[in-house]
């Protein structure tokens, strides 16, 4: 049915939560700050808010990167250079390649009969390093990053350019798999392609989007694609 599958990267096939936590702890250690669940939640709230504004097109990726740690450390009573802290964080993050359960076996099997590509809004150099160092990179033909394309998911232009790069203009043959309603599923809706919402935590669709499939385990893709 599908010849091309577009995978979001973070929290779809690479475990970003583990990567983020390890890199956050690395930053705290460098700045002499004790880790706790409360301050981690504080950072997550700030980070999520800024990325949601980026998804909406309200701020640039540079603003997200330069502001998130500055705001976080301000919240816990420290003043830092947000850009400098972010560089340390990205340095650590680029080496974190944990996979979502069953990602390797699923990508291996799907790659036998489909062209697999990554579509991500993450930071370009970091995403490339993480992905190319991961066990699943041999199964993918393209890694399409918003920084390189010039526009981010869920913008229609991102996907229009992606379709040209993967050399598939028949949208009925393309399936997008991702965990984010705001960037992945909304993006698929914007360009009229089928989508699969990877939803292992049983979140609620509060956007009333068109979701072709919903899965809680990546192995379920084998029955779809």
CA dist 106 and 11 (Å) reads: 15
- CA distances to 93, 111, 142, 147, 180 from 139, in Å: 22, 6, 10, 22, 22
CA dist 200 and 179 (Å) reads: 9
End-to-end CA distance of the chain: 7
Structure tokens at 11: 């929290």
Contact (CB, 8 A) for 148 and 124 = yes
CA dist 132 and 145 (Å) reads: 13
Catalytic residue numbers, as ranges: 8
Task: Using DSSP, state whether 142 is helix, strand or coil.
Answer: strand
């Amino acid at each position: 049915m599908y010849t091309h599958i577009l995978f979001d990267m973070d929290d779809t096939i690479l475990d970003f939560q583990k990567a983020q936590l390890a890199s956050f702890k690395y930053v705290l250690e460098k700045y002499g700050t004790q880790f706790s669940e409360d301050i981690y939640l504080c950072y997550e709230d700030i980070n999520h808010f800024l990325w949601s504004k980026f998804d909406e097109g309200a701020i640039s990726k540079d603003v997200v990167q330069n502001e998130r740690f500055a705001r976080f450390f301000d919240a816990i009573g420290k003043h830092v250079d947000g850009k400098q802290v972010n560089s340390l964080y990205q340095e650590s993050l680029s080496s974190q390649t944990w996979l979502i359960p069953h990602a390797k076996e699923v990508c291996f099997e799907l790659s036998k009969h489909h062209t697999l590509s990554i579509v991500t809004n993450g930071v370009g150099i970091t995403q490339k390093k993480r992905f190319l160092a991961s066990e699943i990179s041999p199964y993918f033909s393209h890694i399409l990053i918003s920084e390189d394309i010039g526009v981010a998911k869920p913008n229609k232009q991102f996907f229009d350019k992606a379709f040209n790069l993967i050399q598939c203009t028949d949208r009925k043959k393309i399936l997008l798999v991702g965990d984010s309603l705001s960037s992945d599923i909304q993006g698929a809706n914007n360009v009229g392609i089928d989508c699969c919402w990877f939803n292992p935590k049983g979140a609620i669709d509060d956007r009333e989007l068109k979701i072709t499939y919903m899965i809680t385990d990546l192995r379920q893709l084998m029955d779809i694609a």
